[in-house]
Amino acid sequence: MSIGHTLLGLLESGPRHGYDLKRAFDEKFGHDRPLHYGQVYSTMSRLLKHGLVEVDGIEAGGGPERKRYAITDAGITDVEQWLATPEKPEPYLQSTLYTKVVLALLTQRDAAEILDTQRAEHLRSMRILTDRKRHGDFADQLICDHALFHLEADLRWLELAAARLDKLKAAVIA
């Protein structure tokens, strides 16, 4: 996820302080990985340097000054271009799991056990996501579906790899 573009998009509704941006980000996108304040301010500094935001005001308070940021026309154009650019699908052609299976075969370890352990972990994650989906709002349900579909595809691969372990062993040891 592009944090900079996400913060720019949040600024389109109006100027905000860094604290407000962090809160809005965490509420909409940060359920699993909340944004750190330092990340907000370093990102805003970079966006300011590139002319994508401007300081709309500075307020003095009991602590450090609070800058209010506003998106510029260049920032709006940048967000529009980012939104229009498709994300490259991630084919996982060289996954860590595949590497572990091949190394297990090469070193005479039990690759089937690795696949079984991974299957159990995927199923555990799916149970957690399904529970979260059941209790979440519509946005949470949609993001959980995305993750569940990826996990289901991984499970299909785990089953296929388990069924073909003998052939894979012959291919990697040859």
DSSP letter for each residue of 4-68: HHHHHHHHTTS-EEHHHHHHHHHHHT-SSSPPPHHHHHHHHHHHHHTTSEEEEEEE--SSS-EEE
User: What local confidence, expressed as pLDDT, does residue 49 receive?
Assistant: 97
Q: What is the DSSP letter of 120?
A: H
User: What does the mean pLDDT of the chain come to?
Assistant: 91
Residue 92 or 120, more confident = 120
| 21-72 pLDDT per residue, tens | 999 999 888 877 889 999 999 999 999 999 999 999 888 776 777 899 999 9
Q: What is the DSSP letter of 72?
A: -
Q: What percent of the chain is predicted at pLDDT more than 70?
A: 97
- Its pTM surpasses 0.85: no
With vertex at residue 82, the alpha carbon angle to CA 137 and CA 67, rounded to the nearest 5 degrees, is 75
SS3 109: coil
**Are the C-beta atoms of 129 and 148 separated by less than 8 Å?**
yes
Determine the Cα–Cα distance for residues 41 and 43; give it in Å rounded to an integer: 5
Determine the Cα–Cα distance for residues 174 and 165; give it in Å rounded to an integer: 14
Determine the Cα–Cα distance for residues 106 and 104; give it in Å rounded to an integer: 5
